[in-house]
């Protein structure tokens, strides 16, 4: 049975970072159908439900130009995660794995990232498929999928060039 915030056999907890030392600004809020961590998908799917990403003022104008991309990288703060496990047992079988070898939401800085499929942009709301976070999860950033993005500034020495 899965319980929220339990420490399982084989897991190791360490003192967790202070909640106030990151200095990040939440720039929006993600609206999804999931209100319970146990029912939230472990990773988003391209055929998942449409979720709405709300941008707070003054950040909505930063969406200019995003609509041309098919996919967007969404970076969010898994705000209900514990932050103190350095070894974790995802299968609850006593087999421990290092926190940095898995994509568990439990991490010292609980950042979540998803490559989501852009469905549309309406009145400062970005509609996407492919998320895996709870309703109300704070938004940290949005970026075009790096595989679709070509740097806008002129090339620099050392940049990868097509044909290299
Ligand atoms: N796709 C992201 C990644 O790989 O960085 C997150 C993956 S994480 C395994 C997704 C899980 O985090 C969900 O199944 C849910 O259990 C949990 N979760 C989702 N939103 C959360 C939130 N706001 N706070 C804490 N846990 C959350």
155 belongs to a structural domain: no
Do the Cβ atoms of 98 and 87 come closer than 8 Å?
Answer: yes
In a domain, 36, yes or no: yes
Q: How many domains does the chain have?
A: 1
| Alpha carbons 102 and 70: distance in angstroms, whole number | 27
Mean pLDDT in residue range 61-72:
96
Interval 8-45: pLDDT, tens: 898 888 887 666 666 899 999 999 999 999 999 999 99
User: Edge-to-edge strand order for the sheet containing 12-13?
Assistant: 12-13, 85-88, 97-98
> In a 10 Å sphere around its CB, with 0-12 CB exposed, 13-18 middle and 19+ buried, how is residue 82 labelled?
middle
Q: Is there an atom of ligand 1 within 6 Å of 29 CB?
A: no
Domain CATH for 69:
2.40.30.70
pLDDT tens-digit readout, 125-139: 999 999 999 999 999
- Distance, CA of 147 to chain centre: 17
Model pLDDT for residues 81-106, shown as the tens digit of each residue: 999 999 999 999 999 999 999 999 99
Buried b (16+ CB within 10 A) or exposed e, 10-27: ebeeeeeeeeeeeeeeeb
**Is 3 a domain residue?**
no
Answer whether residue 70 shows pLDDT above 80.
yes
Domain membership flag for residue 164? no
What pLDDT does residue 56 have? 95
- Residue ranges making up the domain that contains 77: 24-81+107-147
* 48 C-beta closer than 6 A to ligand 1: no
Q: Which atom of ligand 1 is nearest to the CA of 81?
A: 25
User: pTM here?
Assistant: 0.90
Ligand 1 centroid to Cα of residue 42, in Å, is: 6
- pLDDT recorded at residue 22: 64
């Amino acid at each position: 049975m899965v319980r929220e915030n339990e420490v399982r056999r084989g897991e190791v907890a360490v003192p967790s970072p202070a909640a106030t030392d990151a200095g990040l600004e939440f720039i929006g809020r993600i609206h999804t159908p999931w209100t319970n961590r146990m029912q939230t998908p472990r990773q988003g799917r391209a055929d998942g439900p449409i979720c709405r990403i709300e941008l707070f003022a003054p950040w909505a104008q930063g969406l200019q130009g995003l609509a041309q991309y098919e996919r967007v990288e969404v970076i969010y703060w898994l705000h209900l995660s514990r932050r103190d496990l350095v070894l974790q047992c995802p299968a609850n079988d006593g087999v421990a794995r290092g926190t940095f070898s898995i994509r568990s939401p439990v991490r010292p800085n609980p950042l979540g990232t998803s490559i989501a499929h852009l469905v549309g942009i309406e009145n400062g709301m970005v509609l996407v498929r492919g998320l895996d976070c709870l309703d109300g999860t704070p938004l940290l950033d949005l970026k075009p999928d790096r595989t679709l993005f070509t740097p806008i500034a002129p090339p620099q020495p050392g940049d990868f060039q097509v044909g290299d």
